[in-house]
Structures are given as C-alpha cells and as structure tokens.
C-alpha cells in the first residue's frame, strides 16, 4: 500500500469540523446519553467511603473491582463513540442495530488491544529500567532524571497517537484484523506524527482546562458532572474523527472515495490529497 506523506493539519481539522458540525444533533445526542451513563456509574460509588474501607481493612478487593469496572465502562463508551462515527460516515441517520453490532465488535477488539498494549508496556518498562540502572552508574543523577523525563514524555505522546490511530482504524465498516490494525497504526504513528502530535496537544490542553474547571466545582453535583462528561466525550469523538479522516486519506487509494456525506458547500475540503 502506498501511503501519502504530506497532509495539511488545517485541512484535516477543517474537514473534521465540517463533518461534526453537519451532524451535530446526532453526535450531541449520543454524547449526552454516554455522559449520563458515565455520571450514573460514578454516582453509585462513594470513593471516599471506598478509600476509608481500604485503609481500615487493607482489603483491596473492592478497589480492584472498582478499577476493572471503571475500565470496562470506559471501553464500552469508547466502543459506542467509535461505532457512532462509523455509522454517521455511512449515513446521516443513526441506525441502532448497526450501532450496537459495531459497538460490540469494537468492545472486544479494544479489550484485546489494551491487553496487548499492557504486556508491551510492561516489557518495555522492564528493559528501560535495566538500561537506566546501568546508565546511573555512569552518568550524573541530574542527567538521568532529565533522560527519564524525556523518555516518558516522548513515550506517552507516541502512545496516545498510536492508540488514536488504532481507534480510527476501527471506524472502518470492515476493519482489518487486530494485528494488521496494530501494524498499520504503528506505521501511521511514525509517518504522520506531526499532525498527530498537534491534535494530541490540543486534546491534552482541553482535558487539563476541563479538569481544572471540574475541580473548582462541587464533585457531587450531578448536573455539572454530566456537563463535564458530555464535553469530554464530545471532544473525544472529534479527536477520533480527526484521526480517522487522516487515516482514511492515507490508506485509501487515489481512486477511492471518502464515505458519502452531504457537505456539498465544503466539497473542496473532502477531496483526497494526492
């Protein structure tokens, strides 16, 4: 497969903005439903009481159950948001049957993806620890600290870009198997990191600002928690749509067409970049 090398970030951002804007009602509806589910789930757990129970009994069972359940809910919500993007690329109307079947398939693949990534991170961390321990015998402590910071920063940014390309690959109506998707996501992360890192930095800035705002308000306010969850989910959908637009422009051949849409007034923005 021949990949296209030069793609403009402003063009992809504009295409994504137009795609979301022309389907704003559908995306807002799905984001609201997912935000309500997320807020309801959080409201069932008294985190302060959970922490006190752990401190008194030293029993981590409840804590691990909470973490696993939280991760599972997050995976399901992500799978549904990816399915929504896939649905709205194929049609301007939400198809519940298509949405649910795609979300189920996405859920299983994301769980397997996280397991693979978890094993990979463990092995890489182990090897890097051995290397850093060896270097600590040769280099000053200050230099080791700087080196660790740089390695962590680059690794985290690359991992976020890689994950987003993988999620984007699952938007496809008939995605590749998981190992092909992993391989392609790795290639795209290495060749399209400039566009990816710009979107990642925007996303991180958004999350930091939203987190600061959330911390300034009452944590037990259901309405405010729903609003913050809605904003997070909606912007996450935008980010996944951005990476899918980038993914589709690169992986589709010059004779391919983008999924049908009604954005005629922005037709020039939807042409493949040759």
Tens digits of residue pLDDT in 158-182: 999 999 999 999 999 888 889 999 9
Q: Is the pLDDT of residue 32 over 60?
A: yes
Q: What confidence tier does 31 reach under pLDDT thresholds 50, 70, 90? A: very high
Domain boundaries, the chain: 9-270
Torsion of CA 249, 247, 241, 150, to 10 degrees: -130
In the Cβ-directed half-sphere of 237, how many Cα atoms lie within 13 Å?
Answer: 32
DSSP 3: P
In the Cβ-directed half-sphere of 231, how many Cα atoms lie within 13 Å?
Answer: 14
Residue 173: helix, strand or coil by DSSP? Answer: coil
Q: Which residues contact 253 (CB under 8 A, 6 or more apart)?
A: 2
Tens digits of residue pLDDT in 72-122: 999 999 999 999 999 999 888 888 888 999 999 999 999 999 999 999 999
Residue 179: name the closest of 244, 251, 115 by CA. Answer: 115
**Could you give the CA distance from residue 41 to residue 243 in angstroms, rounded to a whole number?**
29
**Could you give the CA distance from residue 103 to residue 98 in angstroms, rounded to a whole number?**
8
Residue 255: helix, strand or coil by DSSP? Answer: coil
CB 214 within 8 A of CB 229: no
Tens digits of residue pLDDT in 117-128: 999 999 999 998
Tokens (6 digits) for 152:
């962590």
Residue 147: name the closest of 134, 162, 161 by CA. Answer: 134
Tokens (6 digits) for 173:
């109506």
In the chain, where does DSSP find H-type helix?
9-21, 24-43, 47-57, 61-90, 96-136, 141-169, 178-191, 193-215, 222-251
Tens digits of residue pLDDT in 61-72: 666 777 888 899
Give first-to-last CA distance, the chain, whole Å.
14
């Amino acid at each position: 497969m021949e990949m296209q090398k030069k793609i403009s970030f402003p063009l992809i951002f504009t295409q994504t903005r137009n795609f979301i804007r022309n389907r704003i009602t559908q995306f807002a509806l799905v984001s609201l439903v997912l935000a309500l589910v997320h807020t309801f789930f959080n409201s069932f757990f008294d985190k302060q009481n959970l922490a006190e129970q752990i401190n008194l009994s030293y029993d981590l069972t409840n804590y691990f159950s909470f973490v696993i359940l939280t991760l599972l809910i997050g995976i399901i919500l992500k799978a549904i948001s990816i399915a929504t993007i896939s649905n709205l690329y194929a049609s301007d109307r939400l198809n519940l049957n298509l949405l649910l079947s795609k979300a189920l398939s996405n859920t299983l693949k994301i769980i397997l993806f996280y397991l693979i990534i978890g094993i990979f991170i463990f092995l890489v961390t182990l090897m890097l620890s051995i290397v850093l321990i060896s270097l600590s015998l040769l280099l000053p402590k200050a230099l080791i600290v700087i080196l660790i910071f740089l390695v962590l920063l680059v690794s985290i940014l690359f991992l976020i870009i890689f994950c987003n390309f993988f999620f984007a690959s699952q938007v496809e109506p008939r995605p590749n198997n998981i190992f092909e998707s992993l391989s392609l996501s790795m290639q795209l992360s290495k060749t399209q990191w400039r566009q990816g890192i710009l979107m990642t930095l925007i996303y991180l800035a958004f999350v930091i600002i939203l987190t600061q705002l959330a911390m300034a308000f009452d944590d037990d306010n259901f309405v405010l928690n729903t609003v913050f969850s809605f904003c997070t989910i909606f912007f996450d959908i935008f980010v996944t749509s951005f990476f899918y637009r980038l993914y589709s422009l690169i992986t589709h051949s010059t004779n391919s067409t983008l999924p049908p849409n009604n954005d005629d007034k922005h037709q020039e923005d939807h042409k493949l970049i040759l």
